Amino acid sequence: MAIDITTERLISLEEAAKLIPGRDGGTLHKITIGLYCRRGKLGIKLDSVLAGPRRCTSIEAVARFIEALNEASQAHSRGRKPVPPSQARIPGRTKAEAARAARQAIRDLEASGA
């Protein structure tokens, strides 16, 4: 889900880094948060927006990111590879079904005069 700038509170990546605990009781570095925005972790990216010259995220986006990481981690611990929602498999058609649909679409366009 993308950030809705009209309803979510935008925060800088530095502020977001302070929200996520790091190792040994510290917090994450802002560069790590930037990597989560660009590359993601466990196939899940932290939502962010460019607000003027700065990249920002939101408290709600951080919460969604942490929840998604927990779900992916649990799936991984059960022996299943986590699949990000954006890469979930959608059942496809066979080549014959696709060709049949294409021919039907052409016939429909010709019949409508387009």
Structural domain tally of the chain? 1
In a domain, 2, yes or no: no
Range of the domain at 47: 10-89
Q: What is the mean pLDDT of residues 56-63?
A: 94
By C-alpha distance, which of 30, 28, 79 is closest to 56? 30
Question: What was the pLDDT predicted at 82?
Answer: 55
Q: When comparing pLDDT for 51 and 114, which is higher?
A: 51
> 66 in a domain, yes or no?
yes
Residue-wise pLDDT tens digits, 10-37: 999 999 999 988 888 888 999 999 999 9
Which has the closest alpha carbon to 31: 20, 47, 45, 17? Answer: 17
Looking at the domain assignment, is residue 110 inside a domain? no
Question: Is residue 61 pLDDT above 70, yes or no?
Answer: yes
